[in-house]
Amino acid sequence: MSNIKEVKNGHLYFDGCDTVELAKEFGTPIYVYSKTDIVARIDELKECFVAPYPKNRIAYAAKAFCCMGIYKLCENEGISMDVVSGGELFTAMKAKIDPEKLEFNGNNKLPSELAAAIDYGVGRIIVDGEQELDLIEKICEEQEKTTDILIRITPCVEVDTHDYIVTGRKDSKFGLNIDPDVIFPYIKRAIDSKYVRFHGFHYHLGSQLFDNKPMLDAVDVALELMKECRERFGFAPGELNIGGGVGVTYTDEVRMPFSYFYTPILEKIAAWCEKEDYEMPAIICEPGRALVAEAGIQLYTVGMTKNIPGIRRYAAIDGGMSDNIRPALYGSVYGGVVANRVDEPADEIVTICGKCCEGDSDMIIKGGKFASPRSGDIIAVFSTGAYGYSMANNYNRNPIPGVVIVEKGEAEWLIKPQSYEHMTALDLLPEMLK
Ligand code: LLP
């Protein structure tokens, strides 16, 4: 177990907190985040990404886990944030985040979302579609403002991951394709615009990546484009955002350190700049999962158990696919323990299933090794900090669980749990149904 996970008196401790006590005090199901782990990941990344090139920026991809508190934590740690919707932007505004620290992504930003971003004064808008520049210019004109942009491209580099989370292909809903007759007229418009300041390019290849080769290949594509820009227009773009995607450990994946990806990328760019007599651009990365996945666990209480001899042993928990959709959506595999009996041998094959009205899709851990779960046991599921809470839903009108942040034995609510009242607050009984 990592140093934020420890075993004491047979209980799982997480960042100094007894998870069994957390379950008692805050209730289950619940998401728990270790502040220590998130800060350590940010520090590790800063050291290889920003320390050698202080112009570089880290923009946490808030889609992985978004709430006011996580924005505040990022701001306190001196990093930027990437938002992808009016809702994520609103959350940042409500947390009083410095708008300069926000980068706004998305393939179909709504006019109202762009208007809010421009009004708020976000640091960068990542322009994603052929028509988006027109829309931004129109809004800037109305608001008598200007804005700073990057242009998102599809570098056409393949990556090895789940098909649903590949984004750098030519056939992608994201970004502009780099065919010269598409990209250069677009860049020229951006350079000439009186409403936008064009700084450079953005791409994101995909998520949960373990090989640095595609990332290095994509850099070549972007650098060529930057050079061509300088040649054609006498304008040398000064920024390159290389997206997120660094993979994490769920069960037996070997997580690579940030430096495995970023050190060779930065060295490659620096060498190219030297050769081409190009001023070193500011490089931006946008990690989501890699900063929060392993910093999060979920705690559940076991209710019913069921043994079908020779077939399967089930332990049903008080949550399921409504608070972690990833096993159903991507076939994601998780591991966990019986948190109140971690010292007992995990020698039984058990399927941890949810309480939602679905069959195989509502299995959080299919056939994991556990110390025979019994009713009342606390199950801890590991590495649930990314895209768990953020993709939670109210299927079966299960309320979305709350989130607790812990640090060195202290615990506080980060997000309160939804109640039945919250879920029904917007329901109406219209006249025609009375
Ligand atoms: N930047 C952009 C433009 C992105 O589209 C994404 C992820 C990221 C950064 C952050 O990627 P990360 O570092 O987290 O891999 N729901 C899926 C993941 C979808 C990722 C979408 N874009 C999952 O649960 O695996």
Ligand 1 centroid–CA 214 distance in Å is: 16
Q: Which atom belonging to ligand 1 lies closest to the Cα atom of 209?
A: 15
In-domain check, residue 161: yes
Is 357 tagged catalytic?
yes
Instruction: Report the pLDDT value the prediction gives residue 1, as an integer from 0 to 100.
Output: 53
What φ, ψ does residue 264 adopt, rounded to 5°?
-65, -30
Count of domains for the chain: 2
Q: What is the mean pLDDT of each run of 10 residues along the chain (434 residues)?
A: 87 98 98 98 98 98 98 98 98 98 97 98 95 97 98 87 74 90 96 98 96 95 97 98 98 97 98 98 98 98 97 97 98 98 97 97 97 97 98 98 98 98 98 95
Amino acid 2: pLDDT: 61
In ligand 1, the atom with minimum distance to the C-alpha of 244 is 13
Q: Please return the burial class of 274, using the count of CB atoms within 10 Å of its CB with bins 0-12, 13-18 and 19+.
A: exposed
Pairing of strands 147-154, 176-177: parallel
Distance 167 CA to ligand 1 centre (A): 9
Q: Are the C-beta atoms of residues 315 and 302 closer than 8 Å to each other?
A: yes
338 and 408 assigned to the same domain: yes
Most ligand 1 atoms within 8 A of CB, residue of 38, 63, 124 to mutate: 63
Q: What is the DSSP letter of 162?
A: -
Structural domain for 118, as ranges: 66-287
Residue 269 CA neighbour count, 13 Å, CB half: 28
90 with 222, same domain: the answer is: yes
Atom of ligand 1 nearest to the CA of 386: 24
pLDDT single digits (tens) 9-40: 999 999 999 999 999 999 999 999 999 999 99
Q: Ligand 1 centroid to 161 CA: how many Å?
A: 12
Question: What is the dihedral sign for C-alpha 42, 43, 44, 45?
Answer: positive
Domain-embedded: residue 301: yes
Percent of residues, the chain, with pLDDT higher than 90: 94
266 and 300 inside one domain: no
Q: Enter the pTM of the model.
A: 0.97
**313 and 257 share one domain:** no
Read off the pLDDT of residues 191-205 as tens digits, 9 standing for 90 and up.
999 999 999 999 999
What atom in ligand 1 is closest to the CA of residue 288? Answer: 14
Whether residue 337 sits in one domain with residue 282: no
pLDDT above 70 coverage of the chain, percent: 99
CB within 8 Å of 240: residues ≥ 6 apart? 200, 201, 202, 219, 222, 223, 226, 269, 281, 282, 283, 284
What does the pLDDT look like over 301-341, one tens digit per residue? 999 999 999 999 999 999 999 999 999 999 999 999 999 99
Q: Which two tokens stand for residue 218?
A: 């994509």
Closest by CA position to 23, among listed 383, 340, 279: 340
DSSP state of 63: G
Report the CATH number that the domain containing residue 388 is assigned in CATH: 2.40.37.10
Same domain, 147 and 265: yes
Q: Is 73 within a domain?
A: yes
Which among 45, 80, 56, 42 is positioned nearest to 281, based on CA atoms?
A: 56
Residue 431 maps to a domain:
no
Co-location of 252 and 306 in the same domain:
no
Q: How far is CA 241 from CA 59, 157, 204, 431, in A?
A: 9, 15, 8, 52
Q: Domain boundary at 287, 309, 334, which?
A: 287
pLDDT of residue 164: 73
Asked if the structure places residue 356 within a domain, the reply is yes
Q: Which helix (H) or strand (E) holds 226?
A: helix 213-233
CATH number at residue 75: 3.20.20.10
Boundary of a domain, candidates 270, 287, 304: 287
Give the residues surrounding ligand 1 with Cβ less than 6 Å away.
61, 64, 82, 105, 165, 167, 204, 207-208, 243-246, 286-290, 326, 330, 387
Residue the block writes with tokens 């064009």:
198
**Which residue lies with its CA nearest to atom 23 of ligand 1?**
387
